[in-house]
Amino acid sequence: MKNKETVSILYALFQKGDIAVLLEQLSDDINWTTGGDSAEIPFAGTRNGKKEVKEFFHQVSNTTQFSKIEPLQLIEEDNCVVALGLSEGINTSTGKTLANHWAHVWYFSNGKVVKFWSYIDTAQIASSFKAETRTASR
């Protein structure tokens, strides 16, 4: 199976919530990075190893309910797959909607994902975690 096909399957597994099977496709020493400041976006930052990546998915599922995670294009070269896509959903802590174009970069070795980088609109995601502030009317 080509790496591009594996990435497509990984998105399908995430959409189904089958994180245990998704984690089986990662190397034991996976390096997983999601852009942003963890003070503003709880699931931002770098994680190492399957245990920390499992925690990433736990943080995502505790804060976001996705209605769509759709890779629009998959580009493969050598051991790298770049996925360009769109996500839509609701921040469950604030009720704010999310719509985000992203780029994900997947690196493979021996059929397993060894490195993942997520490039997202961090300002848009961070704003979804901020509660609305209301000003007093005069």
Instruction: List the CATH number of the domain containing 79.
Output: 3.10.450.50
Residue 72 · residue 86 · CB < 8 Å = yes
Q: Which helix (H) or strand (E) holds 69?
A: strand 64-77
Total count of domains within the chain: 1
pLDDT in 10s for each residue of the chain, 138 residues: 699 999 999 999 999 999 999 999 999 999 999 999 999 999 999 999 999 999 999 999 999 999 999 999 999 999 999 999 999 999 998 999 999 999 999 999 999 999 999 999 888 898 999 876 555 555
Where in the sequence is the domain holding 32, given as residue range(s)? 3-120
Question: 131 lies in a domain?
Answer: no
Q: How many CB atoms lie within 10 A of CB 135?
A: 5
Tokens 């397993």 correspond to 112
| Cα four-point dihedral sign 62, 34, 22, 7 | positive
